[in-house]
Amino acid sequence: MKQLLLVFLGGGLGSVARFAVTKLVVYKQLNLIWGTLAVNVIGSLLIGLILGYTLKTTGLNQNTALLLATGFCGGFTTFSTFAYENQGLLRTGDYTTLLLYTIGSFVLGILAVFLGLWLVKSLS
């Protein structure tokens, strides 16, 4: 039960952080999809840092990793919004943005995880 509550708490905090980051990006006159891209790349970097640190040291226990990686990062990033925004781009025929956004999300997300893992490894 404790682990479920930790994931619940982390997910709620991650969702609020996602909302704040997206609003900040949209407030700066950027399209909503770039807010989603930002949170997905930041979340990928965070999970790389969190799990890299967890694997490298005994500094984070399983409960803390659940709170941060599964909960916070799971609530912070959003595949469902990504998928919805992609279908909107398809529907409007904005194929250039669709291509840039989709490929950029996958490539930058994966690179951000590698960067997080590398940072933890190299800074220790």
Is 77 annotated as contributing to ligand binding? yes
Residue type, 124: S
Between CA 124 and CA 90 the distance in angstroms is: 45
Crossing angle for the helix pair 32-56 and 95-123, nearest 10 degrees? 20
Q: How far apart are CA 87 and CA 92, in angstroms?
A: 9
Dihedral (C-alpha) 70, 53, 114, 72: value to the nearest 10 degrees? 20
74 is in an annotated binding site: yes
Annotated binding site for Na(+): 74, 77
Annotated binding site: 74, 77
